[in-house]
Amino acid sequence: MRCFVAVELPAEVRRELGDLTRGLCRYLPEARWVRPELMHLTLAFLGEVADDLPGRLRAPLAATGARHPAFNARLGGLGAFPGPGRARVVWVGMEAGADELGALQKDVVGALVPAGYVPERRPFSPHLTLGRLRTPADAGAAVRRHFSGRGFRVERFVLLRSVLRPDGPEYTELESFALKAPAA
């Protein structure tokens, strides 16, 4: 099965991102925008894995979650990979919580490596993919738009299964891992 580890977003945040992508449509009419209900912050993409892997990851990922306190986050600032002039991916970055997410991502990768995960060589760049372009396009005008989202709390991360269907991916939660509750 095809799996990845991600942080999910509250419904209100996904709703405002839906409003955002509707506004970006006119700048990039050829982009395929991610449906708001599927939007997430990817921590690690595992790709195709054996059916027993999720079970084997349960304990190490639970231990990872227990080491990281829950934190406040806010999405904001638009950008494009590999760059605005020849965009393939249009994303929103993090105005708050990027350091905490980066620390969590590093530890998640550390938990996945003993199970055979090969880490990406490029540094982790906290972002949420809003849209994708089959043919690179100039996203300069789109990413110059101002966006600052509402704050939310990250209290857990999830292991998701992705099934690719003709009308887009379908994600199913396999496991959920709580972050450490703040000291009372």
Which residues are catalytic, by number? 40, 127
The Cα–Cα gap between 165 and 167 comes to: 5
Question: Among residue numbers 63 through 92, which ones bind ligand 2AM (CB under 6 A)?
Answer: 89
CB 89 within 8 A of CB 113: no
Q: Does 105 bind ligand 2AM (CB under 6 A)?
A: no
* Residue closer to ligand 2AM (CB basis): 89 or 103: 89
Contacting residue, 15, 16, 42, 69, with ligand 2AM by CB under 6 A: 42
Q: Does 129 bind ligand 2AM (CB under 6 A)?
A: yes
Q: Does 45 bind ligand 2AM (CB under 6 A)?
A: yes
Tell me the residue ranges of DSSP E strands in the chain: 2-8, 32-33, 40-48, 71-81, 87-96, 128-137, 148-154, 156-165, 168-178
* Residue closer to ligand 2AM (CB basis): 58 or 161: 161
Q: Does 161 bind ligand 2AM (CB under 6 A)?
A: no
CA distances from 133 to 33, 137, 162 (A): 9, 7, 20
Contacting residue, 21, 64, 105, 162, with ligand 2AM by CB under 6 A: 162
Q: What is the CA radius of gyration of the chain?
A: 16
Q: Nearest approach, Cβ of 171 to ligand 2AM (angstroms)?
A: 8
Q: Does 172 bind ligand 2AM (CB under 6 A)?
A: no
* Residue closer to ligand 2AM (CB basis): 69 or 98: 98
How many residues sit close enough to ligand 2AM to count as binding (CB under 6 A)?
6
Element (H, E) at 112: helix 98-112
DSSP letters along 43-76, please? EEEEEE--TTHHHHHHHHHHHHHHHSB-EEEEEE
Token pair, residue 96, equals: 């708050």
- Using CB under 6 A as the criterion, which residues of the chain lie in contact with ligand 2AM when the complex forms? 4, 42, 45, 89, 129, 162
